Structure 1
Amino acid sequence: MTDTVTFASYGTFLPSVDSTSFGEATPTTTTDADSRTSSSSTATLTASASDVSPTSVATSTDFTAAHPYPTKSVSYAQVLGNGVSAQVAQIPWNTFANSNFDALCPSHDCIKDCQNYTRLFEEVPYFLNNSFQTYGKSIDGKPPDTTLFGVCSNLANINTGISEALTSQSIESYFPLQRQQEVDQVSSSIASCLASTCDFSREPQNCVAACNMPLLYSNGSTTNLTAVTACLSMICGNTCGLPYANQDVMGVGVLVSYVIQAVLIIACAIALIATALYYTFRSREKDLSLSENSQRGLEGFLAAQCYFTIALEIAAICSSPSDIDPLNGYALLSVAITGFLCPAFTLMLLHSRGCRTKYGAGLTLVSYILATFVFWTLYANLSRHLGSTTGSDEALRELYKIPTCGGSSAIALCPQSIGNDPLDYLAGFYNQGSIPNLRTMPLLWGWTTLILILLASNQARYLFGPQNSPGQTRLQSTWALVVRILAHPIALLVACTLFGLSLGYQAEMLRKYSGSDVIDWDGWSFGQVVAVVVFAQPVADYLHLLLRDHLEQRKASKRQVDPQTKGSYVAVSQAATPNVRPSSGLSTPSMQKHHTHSPSNSSLYAPRAVSPQSPLVSSRTY
């Protein structure tokens, strides 16, 4: 049974259980005063972020009066629960004595190295040969190695052990006893980093009870290890410790528009494939060209796609893809894929039915060129993270730039402290640990480029080349054969399947991105709303065309059933004069004098004078 612990009024939580919301930790109701406390502390930190010293307190110190802290210390095992490494707790001396201090403290002064906050708040500090998967972890049941953060958070206890002669002479050289003031500065900075990370999170009111300076920096001199452990469990145990990523790059509206676009493309492809296969296997000779409405609707959809993606690619270029961070670079890669993949898919569907639109092809080419530039610029920038563990590290530093954390945040400690990384999907992407990864992404670009070359050649052939001329060269004949093969419904099915797999590849990228909970699902800003309604126009136009044709067909059908709406013909009774043919119906208001509805060369309905010896007995319309 997993142990639980109650911190003040926050409620019961299970630190070792992953969740997607602080709310799953059963928080108690937060008062207005609590919210004001957190807000004011965040505002204070933001206002003075540029000149915060390592010893300054970055969060509110008035929390003690509103929230009494537990007077009884809680054991480390109770706080962490099951299956979590014990790196923040007091380090056993036998483990500590066997630590590799040459790698942990390359300057041979651990107190000095602990003040290098950029190195301290890293997933794997440089000069250490551990991997992201093993650093701070228990391997094969062995105790985990001591981490740099484990050493720095225990400086006060280490000094106590040295003063009590519990360590060897070689270890004492790494911890000068006369540096007690600097030890206090390190303890204060660790507490300030954790408290600031909580303040910058999306729900600071839910972690401030465990992550505040008076509790983390107990007695104003030492690090409260139990409180540090509890704070890390609160921040790292779910994704609410993260801020939202750049919503302009991948906000909720942009993400929804991707889904709408993909659904519309797949629906069009299924309809065209089903129709082609039906008439092919039924051996029916039928012209498979698109109707006028379908062609206009698909061309309008292609134009909307291109204008949308061109705008996205221009915005991506303005975001400096050559030096963007790995997290936002991951999102921009999806933007680039959309720019060349989706318009090419739609253009291929048009060509499969003989619709060769120069306007749509031109827009597709512009979108492809811009997307290609963005894609390869991003690839060159992000490829340096291939096979390394720095991608997630750099992304975290971009999310939080807290001075007391060395420009990073306490979330970088999550993998080594509780074994959870809120951005672990980035490590899989850059280390080829998942199906969507950076090394396989050029396959999507290569497939799209091949299709566009075929489509451009086909369009150029019909615009400039001879059509079935008797003097065709061998190359032209071969190309005509290739076109006929590609026009077969089976070839269309294969091509659409590959495009569908490419869209699925991109969908998996977006799923992992949204699953990391860095998208603000309530962030419906002006730009996000505009992004969603982009595809409303072509859909509305197509529906309007269908409705207009339906109404015209109904009107035409009604005219055929009820011809009195347009006039009548007068018929002569055949009883008295069998040789008399139908008259021209001169009494009809819509008829011109001496003319009939029939053409002048018609013998059946040619005008003929009515004999005076044949009186009109009756008349009827037909």
Structure 2
Amino acid sequence: MSCCYTNDQSNPICERLFPPEGSFLKYGCLTGNCVNDCDPRKLYNSTLQQNGAGNGQMPILKYMACANIPSIASYANRDVLSPNITKSIQKFIFPHTTEDSLQNVTSAVTDCLSSTCRRSRDSTFCYTNYCSPVKLLRNNTSPNLEAIHTCLNTLCDKTVKALPWADTDVIGIGVFSSYVMQCIFIVILWLGFLGFAIYQHKRSEPERPSEPGKHYKSWINLLSEFHKSQCFFSATLMIASLNYGIYKVDTLVTFLLTPLATNSVLPVVFAYLLLLYYRKSSTGVTLLTISVYALSTLVYWSLYWHFIPLGDSVDAFNLYRNFRFRLSALPACGGYSGLSVCPNEYARKGLFNARDASRRIKFLTPLIWTYSTLILFALLAYQLYRWRSKRGPNMDSPVWHRAFWFTTIIFLAAIGMQLDVLSISIKLNMINPGGWTFGQIVAVTVWIPPLLDYVYREMSEWLRRRPGC
């Protein structure tokens, strides 16, 4: 915005900003009371942040007006404004505005910017030199407009760098790493069983011997303990997700939690299939598997039903703005985002490929969930048949073996799709790689007990076989 100075109030710029009817203040003072309208709860509010509608211009216009109101009101209180400008602003700024009122307006336009910079993932680029409260204030009742302009340019130009990281309570590097480890772990277990099967085949012996060796037993026990750990971990995270606001449309939550929900279904069903095939399943394990599946399915479809309209109607730019407003919302901005006053041309810089992420969630996750569900229901039907008839089909038949290995190979392909879906949170640059908080460390260490148990069994067997032990 061009400036109008008190020592030259008759120039064309002043005439354009303060015409006889309706100055630029009308955009920031919708009710006619500028001091009241320049409140954080109203200043940064926009329909774009609430429901994705609008073009984002209103917060920018309101901010331009409110940032100038303290200075204009101060000049008006000192009677240094020309009659034309005084007439133009009298509908919006009441005579003799108190200093407390001007301080409130100044606080509204400066605290939000300072807080936005301070909470960004790397505040060093903006806070010390541009956006600290000392830099943004000219005095107690007036903001420094030049400093505000510089601070806003710095924040808006950095796009993703100006955002804070996603909430690490549920969506963090530890949870992400833990779920990746879960997928890799189940693949390693499958490869181990494949190795045992090849070894038995070379010896012309049954794939599942009636008297398995110690290593074979230890590997199956590792599978059993791993399955219990993943069930308890997934169930806990799904319960936390149910209390995380998944029943309202939120693009950020939908993009970051949906992969976690499918990851709480696929490896769980895969491990249950292995346990059933290797005769390690029990009623307790079956009930635990069903409970985790039910929780994960509830979370998944609660998120996915919200995702369907988002995937159809929101383009990459609007997805980015939704992420930006959700992440940067602050109490100092009235629960909205200080970045809402950035011009739209700034917001288009540094866009991630949100459209590609949208397609992957929309098409891959239903395939993962559907395949896992079909296999689980087939296994439960077999369990029910075996329980009612007191016996089951011949699990040592070649047909059963071929069906088992074919099913697990498809599971491996699904695991690959799941890892691709999990990578979305990293590709969207929303998870802090260094955010190893207490909860994130706990999320990773959940896999240590089954590994220690396996190592202990192997070491005990090795020591038992040593001469003299």
- Residue identity opposite 1:392 in structure 2: F
Among candidates 464, 483, 493, match of residue 388 of structure 2 = 464
In the aligned structure 2, how far is the partner of 1:532 from the partner of 1:460? Answer: 35
Matched, 1:493 2:409: yes
Q: Is residue 269–residue 375 contact of structure 2 (8 Å, CA) maintained in 1?
A: yes
Matched, 1:369 2:298: no
Which residue number in structure 1 is paired with residue 378 of structure 2?
A: 454
Q: Judging changes above 3 Å, is the alpha-carbon distance between structure 1 residues 394 and 214 closer, same or farther for their aligned structure 2 residues?
A: closer
1:235-287 alpha-carbon deviations (Å, 9 max, x no partner)? 452656444544331344433322322221122234445666x689x998553
Q: Is residue 195–residue 208 contact of structure 1 (8 Å, CA) maintained in 2?
A: no
- Residue identity opposite 2:295 in structure 1: L
- Residue identity opposite 2:445 in structure 1: V
Q: Is residue 254–residue 531 contact of structure 1 (8 Å, CA) maintained in 2?
A: yes
Tell me how far 1:298 sits from its aligned partner: 0.9
What is the root-mean-square deviation in Å for CA atoms of aligned residues?
A: 5.2
Q: Is residue 313–residue 371 contact of structure 1 (8 Å, CA) maintained in 2?
A: yes
Q: Is residue 31–residue 37 contact of structure 2 (8 Å, CA) maintained in 1?
A: no
Q: Is residue 247–residue 519 contact of structure 1 (8 Å, CA) maintained in 2?
A: no
Q: Judging changes above 3 Å, is the alpha-carbon distance between structure 1 residues 410 and 200 closer, same or farther for their aligned structure 2 residues?
A: same
Tell me how far 1:550 sits from its aligned partner: 4.0
In the aligned structure 2, how far is the partner of 1:117 from the partner of 1:221? Answer: 16
Q: Is residue 364–residue 417 contact of structure 2 (8 Å, CA) maintained in 1?
A: no
Q: Judging changes above 3 Å, is the alpha-carbon distance between structure 1 residues 486 and 357 closer, same or farther for their aligned structure 2 residues?
A: farther
In the aligned structure 1, how far is the partner of 2:236 from the partner of 2:62? Answer: 46
For the residue of structure 1 that corresponds to 2:38, the secondary structure is coil
Alignment of 1:254-333 (within 5 A): 254-273=175-194, 286-289=205-208, 291-319=216-244, 321-322=246-247, 326-328=251-253, 330-333=255-258
Alignment of 1:71-86 (within 5 A): none
Identity %, equivalent residues: 23
In the aligned structure 2, how far is the partner of 1:375 from the partner of 1:249? Answer: 15
In the aligned structure 2, how far is the partner of 1:440 from the partner of 1:415? Answer: 35
The structure whose residues are more often helix, as a share, is 2
For the residue of structure 2 that corresponds to 1:521, the secondary structure is coil
In the aligned structure 2, how far is the partner of 1:531 from the partner of 1:186? Answer: 45
Q: Is residue 261–residue 300 contact of structure 2 (8 Å, CA) maintained in 1?
A: yes
Which residue number in structure 1 is paired with residue 78 of structure 2?
A: none
Unaligned runs of 5+ in 2: 4-12, 76-80, 210-215
Which residue number in structure 1 is paired with residue 346 of structure 2?
A: 418
- Residue identity opposite 1:497 in structure 2: A
Unaligned runs of 5+ in 1: 1-74, 77-90, 137-144, 470-476, 560-622
Which residue number in structure 2 is paired with residue 541 of structure 1?
A: 453
In the aligned structure 2, how far is the partner of 1:311 from the partner of 1:241? Answer: 32
In the aligned structure 2, how far is the partner of 1:179 from the partner of 1:438? Answer: 57
Alignment of 1:229-268 (within 5 A): 229-236=149-156, 237=158, 241-268=162-189
Tell me how far 1:367 sits from its aligned partner: 0.9
For the residue of structure 2 that corresponds to 1:249, the secondary structure is coil
In the aligned structure 2, how far is the partner of 1:499 from the partner of 1:92? Answer: 65
For the residue of structure 1 that corresponds to 2:130, the secondary structure is coil
Which residue number in structure 1 is paired with residue 420 of structure 2?
A: 504
Which residue number in structure 2 is paired with residue 530 of structure 1?
A: 442
Among candidates 257, 264, 274, match of residue 349 of structure 1 = 274
In the aligned structure 1, how far is the partner of 2:409 from the partner of 2:299? Answer: 30
In the aligned structure 1, how far is the partner of 2:108 from the partner of 2:196? Answer: 68
Q: Is residue 247–residue 520 contact of structure 1 (8 Å, CA) maintained in 2?
A: no
In the aligned structure 1, how far is the partner of 2:343 from the partner of 2:230? Answer: 41
In the aligned structure 2, how far is the partner of 1:128 from the partner of 1:366? Answer: 36
Among candidates 392, 400, 423, match of residue 484 of structure 1 = 400
Tell me how far 1:461 sits from its aligned partner: 3.5
For the residue of structure 2 that corresponds to 1:289, the secondary structure is coil
1:426-467 alpha-carbon deviations (Å, 9 max, x no partner)? x93xx7764444676444322221121122123334443476
- Residue identity opposite 2:206 in structure 1: D
Tell me how far 1:498 sits from its aligned partner: 1.9
Which residue number in structure 2 is paired with residue 401 of structure 1?
A: 331
Q: Judging changes above 3 Å, is the alpha-carbon distance between structure 1 residues 417 and 184 closer, same or farther for their aligned structure 2 residues?
A: farther
In the aligned structure 2, how far is the partner of 1:153 from the partner of 1:520? Answer: 37
For the residue of structure 2 that corresponds to 1:322, the secondary structure is coil
Q: Judging changes above 3 Å, is the alpha-carbon distance between structure 1 residues 547 and 185 closer, same or farther for their aligned structure 2 residues?
A: closer
In the aligned structure 1, how far is the partner of 2:64 from the partner of 2:305? Answer: 36
In the aligned structure 1, how far is the partner of 2:251 from the partner of 2:227? Answer: 31
- Residue identity opposite 2:331 in structure 1: K
In the aligned structure 2, how far is the partner of 1:438 from the partner of 1:358? Answer: 35
Q: Matched residue pairs, number?
A: 432
> Highest CA radius of gyration, 1 or 2?
1
Tell me how far 1:368 sits from its aligned partner: 0.8
Tell me how far 1:302 sits from its aligned partner: 0.8
1:541-587 alpha-carbon deviations (Å, 9 max, x no partner)? 222333344445555xx99xxxxxxxxxxxxxxxxxxxxxxxxxxxx
